[in-house]
Chains A and B, each alone.
Chain A
Amino acid sequence: MDTLAKLQILSGAARYDASCASSGSKREAPACGTGNTSQSGICHSWSDDGRCISLLKILLSNDCRYDCAYCVNRSSNAVERASFTAREVVDLTLDFYRRNYIEGLFLSSAVMQSPDVTMERMVRVVETLRLEEQFGGYIHLKIIPGCSSELVRKAGLYADRISVNIELPSQDSLRRLAPQKHKDSILEPMALIGREIHSSLVERKADRRAPRFAPAGQSTQMIIGASPETDFQILRLSQGLYKKMNLKRVYYSAYVPVIADNRLPVLAAPPLLREHRLYQADWLLRFYGFSAEEILSDDLPDLDETFDPKTAWALRHPEFFPVDINRADYPTLLRVPGIGVTSAKRIIAARRFSAITPEGMKKIGVVLKRAKYFIASAGRPFEKPDRTPALIRQQLLLGEGDGVAPPRQLLLSGLFA
C-alpha cells in the first residue's frame, strides 16, 4: 500500500479526535534544524467541517487487537487496515512542516501486537524527529494504556503534549464497553505524567538546562453519550482531573454511532448540543471560578439545553444581580451572562479612565444583548428593575433565534461574549 492510501485510512481514523490544540509550548528551533512552536498556537487551515487544522493528525496504525464497542477500528469490525512505518510518518511530518501546512504532529494509534510494541514504535517516530532530524515543531503523543512507564517517560521527553484518553466517564462503563482497558492502566500513566511534569518544572527552576517534560501539559478525552453518566458526574470527574491530576484540558467528544452494538444506546444523532454545553461548563470550571457543584447538583444532574450554563446559573441566582459594572471586581463581572474574559478585562481597564455608561459599554465592544438584564451602572440597571427571572428567561429566549440549534462544530473555544 502506498503512503497516500495509508494516509487516507489513518487520517480518516483520527478525525474524531477533538484535540487539535497546538498552543502552550515554547520550543526554540534547534540550532541547525527545522521548526519551533508558538505560545499561542497557529491554525494552518480549516477543514470542510470548519475545524482548525494545525497538526498532522494520524494514527500510526488502525490494526487493533482490542474490541471497544464504540470504535470503528475494533478488531471485530471489518474495515481496511493499514500501518505506517516510522519513516513514513517522519517524512510526512517534515514534508508538511517545510511547506508550512502544519504546526507539527499529533500521533495516536490503535493497539497493535501489544501496548508496549505500539508505544515503542510511536516513541521511535518522535525520537527520530527530534534527534535525527532536529525537528523543533509541536508534537502531541497519545499514550497507549498499559505500556511501560519507561516508554511514558521517554514520550514525555520528546513530546510537547502527551495525553491518555480516559475514554468513558466511569469504571463501570469502561468495563462494559472497553473490556480490555482497565481504569488503572489509564490513571496510572496520568498520575506518572503529572508527577514528571511537576518535577521537571521544579528542576528547571534550579537549572535552566534540565530537560523539559511535556511542556504543553497533559490532556485527555472522553466520549459523551455512549454510556449513562450524567453531566454532573462528568463535570465532577473533569474537576477532579484539573485539580488533582493537573490536566491542561479535558476534551469531550460526542459519541458518533459508527457501528451497531447492543451495548450501545441508539441515538438519532450525535449529542452535539450536549457536547457543546459540556465545553461551556468546562470553561466555567477553568476560567470563571465556578465549581461543578455550583453548575449542577444531584437534583439537577444535567445541563440545560436551552441556556448556556452561565445563564442558567444566573437565572437560578437572582439575588446576585444586577452587578454594578463600575464597582464589581473581576470574578463578579465574569459571572454576568454575556461577559467573557475579554469583556471583563476591558471593562476593568476602561473604567480607570472614566466611569462606564451603557453607551461606553458598546464603545469598548461589549455585547449587551444578554448582559443588559444582569448589570447596572450608577445604581441604575440597564433594563427595567422589575423584571422577574421568569420574564428575563422569556426575553432571553425571544432574543435568540438560534439559541437551541445544536452547533455544528466539535470544538468551540471562547464560547462566551
Chain B
Amino acid sequence: MGMNRYLYDGSADGLLSAIAWILAEESDPEQVALAARKDTLFEDGLFIGTDATLAESLFSRLRKQLPDVAHTLYFCMLAEKEGIETSLLHYIFLAFTHGDKINDYLTHAAVRDIVSISKKAARELHRMKGLLRFEKLRDGAYLAKMEPDHNIIHPLAYHFRTRLKAQHWFLYDVKRRTAARWSNGTLQFGTIEQFTTPALSDDEKQVQALWQTFFKTIAIPDRKNARLQKSNMPMKYWKYLTEKQGE
C-alpha cells in the first residue's frame, strides 16, 4: 500500500487545517504524507484547501488538551522550515493517541524531528532575550535590530513588553523586514518596506563606550577563551552586539 499524499498552500493556517482534515478523514495518518504545494507540473497529491476556522479549532483544542504539544507546535512554526509537514502530522496524530507526554517519545523519528526543531527555535528565542541590543534614538525611543534564524519577533516583543514597559521601543527583523513597536501601552506588528536608520541620541555613544569598557574589563586576562565565547555566543549574532562592534 503506497502512502497517501496531500498538498496544502504553504501557509501556517493551510498546514494546520490540512492536518485537521487528515486526522478526521484518514484512518491511519501515520501512512499519510503532507507537503506544501510548489506548483510544479509533476506534483502529485490531493490538494487540501485552507480553512482558517478548522486551523483555529485544531490549535485551540491542542492548547486546552495538550498544552506542551501546542507549545512545541508554536515554536516549530517559528522555524519556518520546509519539508517537516509529514513529521508534524505524525507528531500531532501521536499526541492525540499518547497524550501530552508525547515529547518524551524520542525514540520515534517524527517526534524527535519536531521536538528538536522546536527546541532550536525556543533556544534562539531565549538567546535573543539576552543578545538583543537597543540603541537610544534622538527622540528618546529605543531601537533594536536583529537577524535571527527563526521568526521570533512576536514572542520576543511579548518578552520586552513586560520588561521594558516604561520606554518606547522598536524591534526590527532586518532579514524579514518585520517590525514590532511598543508605545503608550500598545504593541503593534508590521512590515517595513524602506528602512532608514534614525539618528542616535546625543549620549548614546557614551553609554555604549561604558558598556564596551565593562565588557573588556570583566574578563579575566589570563583565562582568554575565544572558543568558549564563540560557542556560547555564535559569531552570527555579533553584527548587532554593541560590545562586538569593530571586531
Residues of A that sit less than 8 Å from B by CB = 3-4, 7-8, 11-12, 14-16, 28-29, 32-36, 38, 40, 42-54, 56-57, 92, 95-96, 98-101, 134, 256, 346, 349-350, 352-354, 356, 360, 363-365, 408-410
Contact for A45 among B165, B215, B224, CB less than 8 A: B215
Distance, CA A40 to CA B159, complexed state (A):
14
B236: shortest Cβ distance to chain A, in Å?
14
If A36-B162, A99-B142, A346-B106 touch, whether A44 touches B131 (CB-CB below 8 Å) is yes
Chain B residues with CB under 8 Å of A256's CB are 220
User: A410–B223 contact, CB under 8 A?
Assistant: yes
Q: Is B225 engaged at the interface, CB distance under 8 Å to the other chain? A: yes
For residue B220, which residue of chain A has the nearest CB?
A49
User: A15–B218 contact, CB under 8 A?
Assistant: yes
User: A53–B163 contact, CB under 8 A?
Assistant: no
Distance, CA A95 to CA B218, complexed state (A):
18
Q: Other than the known A4-B210, A47-B218, what 9 A-B pairs have Cβ atoms closer than 8 Å? A: A15-B219, A35-B164, A44-B130, A96-B207, A98-B142, A100-B132, A134-B166, A349-B104, A409-B223
User: B167–A34 contact, CB under 8 A?
Assistant: yes
In the assembled complex, 29 residue pairs joining A and B whose CB atoms fall closer than 8 Å, in A order, are: A4-B209, A4-B213, A7-B213, A12-B218, A15-B218, A15-B219, A29-B163, A32-B165, A34-B163, A34-B166, A36-B163, A44-B131, A45-B241, A47-B229, A50-B223, A50-B225, A50-B226, A50-B229, A51-B220, A96-B214, A98-B134, A98-B167, A99-B134, A101-B242, A346-B106, A349-B104, A353-B107, A364-B107, A409-B223
User: B229–A54 contact, CB under 8 A?
Assistant: no
If A57-B218, A353-B104, A360-B107 touch, whether A99 touches B226 (CB-CB below 8 Å) is no
B224: shortest Cβ distance to chain A, in Å?
5
User: A98–B220 contact, CB under 8 A?
Assistant: no
Chain A residues with CB under 8 Å of B132's CB are 100
User: B165–A349 contact, CB under 8 A?
Assistant: no
Chain B residues with CB under 8 Å of A50's CB are 223, 225-229, 232
If A15-B220, A346-B106, A353-B105 touch, whether A100 touches B144 (CB-CB below 8 Å) is yes
User: A408–B225 contact, CB under 8 A?
Assistant: yes
| A-side interface mostly | loop
Distance, CA A300 to CA B144, complexed state (A):
55
Listed residue (B105, B163, B242, B243) with the most chain A CB atoms within 10 angstroms of its CB:
B163
A-B Cβ contacts below 8 A, count: 155
Contact for A99 among B112, B211, B216, CB less than 8 A: B211
How big is chain B's contact interface, by range? 35 or more
If A3-B210, A35-B163, A99-B207 touch, whether A47 touches B106 (CB-CB below 8 Å) is no
Q: Is B133 engaged at the interface, CB distance under 8 Å to the other chain? A: yes
A-facing residues in B196-246 (Cβ within 8 Å):
207, 209-211, 213-220, 223-229, 232-233, 241-243
Distance, CA A387 to CA B173, complexed state (A):
57
User: B104–A95 contact, CB under 8 A?
Assistant: no
If A42-B126, A98-B134 touch, whether A7 touches B106 (CB-CB below 8 Å) is no
Distance, CA A101 to CA B133, complexed state (A):
7
If A11-B217, A14-B218, A52-B232 touch, whether A45 touches B210 (CB-CB below 8 Å) is no
For residue B211, which residue of chain A has the nearest CB?
A101
User: B163–A352 contact, CB under 8 A?
Assistant: no
